[in-house]
Chain A
Amino acid sequence: MRVLVAMSGGVDSSVAAALLVEAGHDVVGATLKLWGGFSDSGCCSVADVDDARRVAQQLGIDHHVFNLTEDFDRHVVAPYVEAHARGRTPNPCIECNRAIKFDRLLERSDRLGFDRLATGHHARVTRAANGPHELRRGADVAKDQSYVLSMLGQSELARVVFPIGEMTKSDVRAHAVRLGLRTAAKPDSQDVCFIGSIEGRQGFLADKLAFHPAEVVDGRGDPVGRVDAVELVTVGQRRGMGHGNDGSRHYVVAVDVPARRVTVGSAAEANISAVVLRRATLTWVNQPLALGARAIAQVSAHGRPASCTVGANADGLVVEFDSPQRPVAPGQTVALYDVVDPDAVVGAGIAA
């Protein structure tokens, strides 16, 4: 098959490319230039492109760099900034997957005549004989990235392949070492690719958003403090929120940017029994869950899965947890897994 491999310059996508070459496919590597500014996250810098290119050279495959900075800015960076202005907590890596990697890039892959688009994600796509495509967790539970891929549907899954999905991280590195790939020992990139480690989120947003101070109140509305930038506060946040009179830590329960108010409470007060996923953001791998169906919810990239039941209200899908969970900030993705087959992703949505 003709396969286009998205190569970030990291070891996962390097080995993904290598495996495809070993399997005899006609492989071409492409690195996306997404962010034109400074990057030291281990993804997207010129050094990372060089690493990806060198691995492609070592594997004997063509390598291209696709400049998608405009799309990235429009679909990932601008919404990231805007979400903060509204007191929401976006996940830019998910939006990048949704709009860039598995939309724009997938489209380009089709137009250039590739049969598949491959990435180095730790996830698996399977298919029972002529059945629907399934998206599953990667073999390495600690590294599983199905959460950030949970927006994919049949159309995408039919055209993507995740070559390292069956491998553990240490297998991946061992393979890279065996092949003498330059990226074998490169540390994984951890953070958002367009936010430098020194400036951080605050530094990044400081020249794009106005920060407003806000008062911090408890559940009864009594003031308990202030913050300098309401736009930087996240629901569920503990840092900087102080303690209640009984000595227990305060957590952010709600953020109201227009009212310049942050409401805090104890862990028990902050925890939620349900979260609503906005209707327009719902995606399903195959079929939507029936109302009243059981499922397993994961509310962060490596968060502990929680059993739940799904329902509906005017705003969208209601995910009712069996037991109270840490708060889910508006803008965060909730991925839903099959209750009978917990590795299989059923769908996802974004918390209202």
Chain B
Amino acid sequence: MSDCPTTYLDHGATTPLRPEVADAMAAARALPLGNPTGSHRPAQRARRLLEEARDEVAASMGRQPGEIVFTSGGTESANLAVFGALGAGCRAPRSASLLSSAVEHPAVRESCRAAAQSASVTWHELPVDGSGLVDLHALEAAVDGATALVAVMLANNETGVLQPLDRVVETVRRASDTAVVFTDAVQAASFLDLAESAAGADLVALSAHKLGGPVGVGVLAVRAGVALAPRQHGGGQERERRSGTQDVVGAVGLATALHLAAAERVEVAQRVAALRDRLAGGLVASIAGACRTVPPGVATLPGHLHLCLPGVEREELLVALDAHGICASGGSSCASGALEASHVLAAMGVPDRLARGSIRFTMGRDTTAADIDRALAVVPPVVASLRHDP
């Protein structure tokens, strides 16, 4: 194993735990904390920390504290959104339909797929265009009285493309009084002000470890008045929406991370975008045939750079880059850890020839100019060495 310094360009997968977050969590952990659902002092202390974290998260998301449900992460939040909306109130067990964009994260897609195994649930994927943007006409045509949930992510995890969520919400509201709009904001939360960008959605998911917080805690924001059937049954925590002893220390971590991200959002977005653009420009210029998967002019998150490199196998590329200390990713992994063909690229109409050589670099708040210099120095020769076709 080579001993070179790591250039971590995979923030979309996970982000390093911020020192301030680690400190806040350590401080919380050092207190005598009971179970937040208890009546003695340690329990009250735990409950207070939890509710302070909840208030903080609510303020960051532009929601009311009572609308914040703590979960174990983005995947649980997505499952709760899909199954929760389906199972709620008078809709179950009458027939219901789920609509999701064709580029949703597997946590959403697989939830929809599993839900659609029931005879009373149908699932339609809404096509996207070559940029990965959801087809609003198709959405309009598909929403009807049986639509339980419309899931359109705020920003795509592979390409970073930002969906026109406001237009999606508008379209859904015109066609249905009851359909619930869910947005997966897991990727977007580190760079976008959810209070603005996700304001129209009924359900919003986010995950701590994508924004400098710990793995194992996330949020589903549930607009007041939106009924949700719980997935986890038990003590009735989180106002009956998600039973189970809450991870107080995790919630403190999440709230701290979100607060910090909000405070530096504008500056970080600018800085990261500049680094990304320099990397993009440099790689496209120095790697023959390399192209940015997302067409110019399409809004993306500032840290995402998705490239298609013809003549290269992405699995080999990632391993080779890793040997040089460059950390990137190639899209979603499956349960065995092997790379799968990307449904996102397929939905965008990216030809297989190009999709096989795709690679995602995601820059984050702690990416430096030196990281970009290194990547620019290392990636082109590595690609050249792996080229199958001249």
Contact = CB atoms under 8 A, between A and B. Distances in A.
A binds B: yes
B66 interface: yes
Given A53-B51, A57-B52, A64-B39, A46 B239 contact: yes
Nearest to A57: B48
Interface in A57-96: 57, 62-65
A64 B37 CA distance: 10
A53 B47 contact: yes
Contacts of B51: 50, 53-54, 57
Interface in B238-260: 239-240
Nearest to B41: A62
A62 B44 contact: yes
Interface string B22-58: 0000000000000000010100100110011001000
Contacts of B65: 50, 54, 182
A335 B55 CA distance: 43
A156 to B, nearest CB: 26
A310 B39 CA distance: 49
Contacts of B52: 57
A65 B52 CA distance: 19
Nearest to B66: A47
Contacts of A64: 39
Interface string B178-202: 0000000000000000000000000
Interface string B350-362: 0000000000000
Contacts of A182: 65
A57 B66 CA distance: 15
Nearest to A61: B44
Contacts of A63: 44
Contacts of A50: 51, 65-66, 239
A237 B44 CA distance: 48
A35 to B, nearest CB: 15
Nearest to A60: B48
Interface string B259-296: 00000000000000000000000000000000000000
Contacts of B44: 57, 62-63
A324 to B, nearest CB: 47
A57 B47 contact: yes
A46 B240 contact: yes
A64 B51 CA distance: 15
A50 B41 CA distance: 17
Interface of B: 39, 41, 44, 47-48, 51-52, 55, 65-66, 236, 239-240
Given A46-B236, A57-B44, 5 more contacts: A50-B51, A50-B239, A53-B47, A54-B65, A57-B48
Q: What are the nearest 4 A-B pairs in CB distance?
A: A57-B48, A46-B239, A64-B39, A54-B51
Interface of A: 46-47, 50, 53-54, 57, 62-65, 182
9 contacts: A46-B236, A47-B239, A50-B65, A53-B51, A54-B65, A57-B47, A57-B48, A57-B51, A62-B41
